[in-house]
Structure 1
Amino acid sequence: MSLAQPLAELLEAADRPLEDARAMPPGVYTNPEFLSHEIETIFSKEWICVGRSSRLAKTGDYLTYDLAGQPVVVLRGKDGQLRAFSNVCLHRMSTLVEGCGNKRVLVCPYHAWTYDLDGRLRGAPFMTQTTGFCKENYALPPIRCEEWLGWIYITLDKDRPGVAAALGPLEKLIAPYEMENYVECFRETHVWDTNWKVLAENFMESYHLPVCHAATVGGHSRLEEMECPPGLEAFNYHWITKEASLPMGNAHPDNRRLEGRWRKTTALITLYPSHLITLTPGYFWYLSLHPKGTGQVSIVFGGGLSPEFMADPRAEEYVATLKGLLDEVNAEDRGCTEKVFRGLSADAARAGHLSYLERPIHDFMRYIAERTGGYRRAFAVAAE
């Protein structure tokens, strides 16, 4: 199947009103040419979240990320600033570092070319007899890097507007939570056997909670009280009231920011294209997704507590409880989303109608259609 067919089917689906909306057609998930087009038009252009800035608190702390085929290293410089660089040596093009950790300098594992934390070449053994070589002419290419409410974003697009400009409306919506002060307590990377959009859609709707998560959080979610406002250009979101399945699911007694029902309200946020946040009064968790082919997705997974719970004498117990629950939730989501990908890969797969509880998926579909096919989205209703 060429790119033309799934793109045409996507544009037709995106043009349906919410009241008659259907899911995205199977080819949008399974077609390799469509994925290549997504890499070009979405992941090579958009701001992509790589984690929390608190993870890189000390000079030399770093993490790595592969963005649209470009290996990237994000680090804390000697001046305290966050920076991102190409994670490729300028000699014979080996990657420099892997995973995350702390380095005084970046040393290539192939020939020991060494770079300072500002990207400049510091040393290159046995190069003095190469007449055309001057180490002052070598510096790792910078990658744009910005921080927003404690999150680190990178982009390969040199001209893209800053993160805050696009997410200003979201910042106002969630201001009472003061998400920027939440503390990340764990961060992991995973690979699941599903399409990145299947997992993104799973995260942005709560319709599946009573069934997929019956053994964990499903019984604590009130779908009848869920609110799904229209999404905006850079994000969609919904609110759900929960009887906390964890002690920190509701606001801590010392929390003076949230009042009334907001002390029990969870915000589920999708920052396009692939940063997914569950923000509760007491804790948060997130996924950041990047495709690894049509049938695999690379996942950054993390979570942590609000300041009040971090200051509580039982903080370590709360972190362990949260991590244990989220590991179970992830196992449930993995089972569901991998089944979806196997199903939509079948010849008989057909996209069905969406529930009104899946409005964020409808918004997400139109975002994908805009980025990949020039669909024109409209935002007549402001966020509330």
Structure 2
Amino acid sequence: MSLDRTEIEAATQPLNRARSMPAGFYTDPAIFAAERERVFLKHWFFLTRAEELQNPGDFRAFDSPGGPIVLIRGNDGQLRCFANYCRHRGSILLEGSGNVGGRITCPYHAWSYLNDGRLYGCPDMKDAEGFDKVENGLVALDLDQWEGFVFARFTKDGPTLLEHLGDFPARMASHKLGDMRCTWRITLDVACNWKLILENAVETYHTGIVHKNTVGAQQSRSPQTQGNWICIQVISGRSIATLTDEVPPFDPIMGLDENARQGTYFTVVMPTVQFAVAQDCLWWLNTIPVSENRTLLEVGGCFPESRLPLADFDWRAAPYYDRWERVAREDMGILEKQQRALGSALYRPGPLSWRDDMVQAMGVWVMDRLGL
């Protein structure tokens, strides 16, 4: 990895004299390769909400930095996550989402697996010496849930999901996130490094400029956190999840604690997802790193389940969907420009503002895992 030691040291100084990360932190393929081994394959990452796979056989396939994976609900009601390849010669098994019933059949040579991952059928393998069906089931990832949010990891070593989250569950308890249901998702293909997306998501320095005609200027504070997450809270006595000055279409969640009533939490649960938790809803920015200069970004939105049966739910929810997509696309535009600029041979890291505290915190977290 070819980062300048002087620039790394400058990036970790106290904020009032710190500088931004070296360009290679976002542009160097060697850094991205190190992140894959030491960050993406070592830590919990968010997949989806559990209620999106309600029935036995329901599945959803995902791309990930560790390769294709698939989440599936078994006949026993349990969710499991597997590497999405056939144990014969490696063909992709499932794409998109849907329901496969009780069995997954490889489209190449028709090996088949039960929806709990066990190998079921393997044509013409009876003469293979030492062949063991039990040993040739699908390869499982570690899987866990918190309040219906499903996380996976490629290793079984390290902290549990709750240990990884630290005090995040306690801080969000009054929002009753287990009662949330996902009602909307889009995926954007962004020509920038994954870290730029999440750094942008935890600073309000840019909002009055990039989002001048949408969310406008914002003020925030940075609550102290414990565990592998960081946070800013944008101060507003009402939800900022819509773009009008009118009262939001949905009432606040009942029972919010005093801090939660004061504004929206824009969090990053390391390494790859933001949960934005407002007084009336939640939305996420889930980054799927593809390369040092390309990221798939899923934006998803949730509301309390009690609101979904409302006759006018779709009408009420539409302004939220509009805000989430429009603002994400505005960010996408400026971040792709930032990525291009970082490729300049004359680029030098600039000084940080006091409003960049969580930008620095995210960079330091990643650098620590890379051993820089």
TM-score, normalised via structure 2 length:
0.91
Indicate the residue corresponding to 1:180 in structure 2: 178
What does 1:1-384 correspond to in 2, within 5 Å? 3-6=1-4, 8-9=5-6, 11-104=8-101, 105-128=103-126, 130=128, 132-218=130-216, 221=218, 223=219, 226-242=220-236, 244=240, 245=242, 252-253=250-251, 255-258=253-256, 262-263=260-261, 265-373=263-371
- Kindly, what percent of the aligned residue pairs are identical? 30
Q: Which letter does structure 2 place at the counterpart of 1:237?
A: C
Letter in 2 for 1:76: R
SS of the residue corresponding to residue 71 of structure 2 reads: strand
Cα offsets for 1:50-91 (capped at 9, x unmatched): 121121122111122233333211111111111111211011
C-alpha root-mean-square deviation of aligned residues, in Å? 2.3
Greater shift, 193-202 or 64-73, is seen at: 64-73
Change (3 A) 1:86 1:55: same
Deviation at 1:250, TM superposition (A): 5.8
Following superposition, the deviation at residue 262 of structure 1 comes to 3.6
In the alignment, is the contact (CA less than 8 A) between 1:231 and 1:363 conserved in 2?
Answer: no
Measured against aligned partners, the alpha-carbon deviations of 1:146-189 in whole angstroms (never above 9, x if no partner) come to 11122111111121221111213111111111122111012233
Q: Is the 8 A contact 2:272 2:286 kept in 1?
A: yes
Q: How many angstroms does 1:48 deviate by?
A: 0.9
Alpha-carbon distance, 1:307 to partner: 3.5
Q: Return the offset for 1:130.
A: 4.5
**Alpha-carbon distance in 1 for matches of 2:177, 2:75:** 26
Q: Deviations over 1:322-358 (max 9, x none)?
A: 2222221121011011011011111222221222222
Cα distance in 1 for residues equivalent to 2:230 and 2:259: 21
Of stretches 132-141 and 234-243 in structure 1, the one that deviates more from structure 2 is 132-141
TM-score, structure 1 as length reference: 0.89
Confirm or deny: 8 A CA contact 1:251 1:264 kept in the other structure: no
User: Aligned to 2:152, what secondary structure does the other structure show?
Assistant: strand
Q: Distance in 1 between matches of 2:225 and 2:249?
A: 26
> CA 1:106–1:319 in 2, change beyond 3 Å: closer, same or farther?
farther
Tell me, in whole angstroms, the C-alpha distance in 2 between the residues paired with 1:201 and 1:133: 49
Alignment check: 8 A CA contact 2:46 2:152 kept: yes
1:88-114 Cα shifts (integer Å, max 9, x gaps): 101111111112222112111111111
Superposed displacement of residue 234, structure 1:
0.3
Distance 1:95 1:341, change over 3 A: same
- Per-residue displacement from partner, 1:2-56 (whole Å, max 9, x unpaired)? x1434x2563134301222221111111111111111111011011111211211
Residue deviations 1:251-277 (CA, integer Å, cap 9, x gap): 944732126674351010101111111
Instruction: Confirm or deny: 8 A CA contact 1:22 1:353 kept in the other structure.
Output: yes
**Number of aligned positions between the proteins:** 367
More helix by share: 1
Counterpart residue type for residue 155 of structure 1:
R
Q: Structure 1 CA distance, aligned partners of 2:106 and 2:65?
A: 22
5+ unaligned residues in a row in structure 1: which ranges?
A: 375-384
Residue 281 of structure 1 aligns to a residue in which SS? coil
Task: Give the Cα–Cα distance (whole angstroms) in 1 for the partners of residues 144 and 15 of structure 2.
Answer: 34
Q: Give the gaps of 5 or more residues in structure 2.
A: none
Alignment check: 8 A CA contact 2:68 2:83 kept: yes
In the alignment, the residues of structure 2 paired with residue 23 and residue 145 of structure 1 have an alpha-carbon distance, to the nearest angstrom, of 35
Change (3 A) 1:212 1:110: same
Tell me: CA distance 1:172–1:190, structure 2 relative to 1, closer, same or farther (3 Å).
Answer: same
Instruction: Return closer, same or farther for 1:241/1:320 CA change in 2, 3 Å cut-off.
Output: same
Q: Does the residue aligned with 1:288 lie in a helix, a strand or coil?
A: strand
Runs of 4+ in 1 over 6 A off after TM superposition: none
8 Å contact 1:176–1:257 — kept in the other structure? yes
Query: Deviations along 1:112-131, whole A, 9 cap, x unmatched?
Result: 11110111111123444556
Tell me the CA shift for residue 280 of structure 1. Answer: 0.7
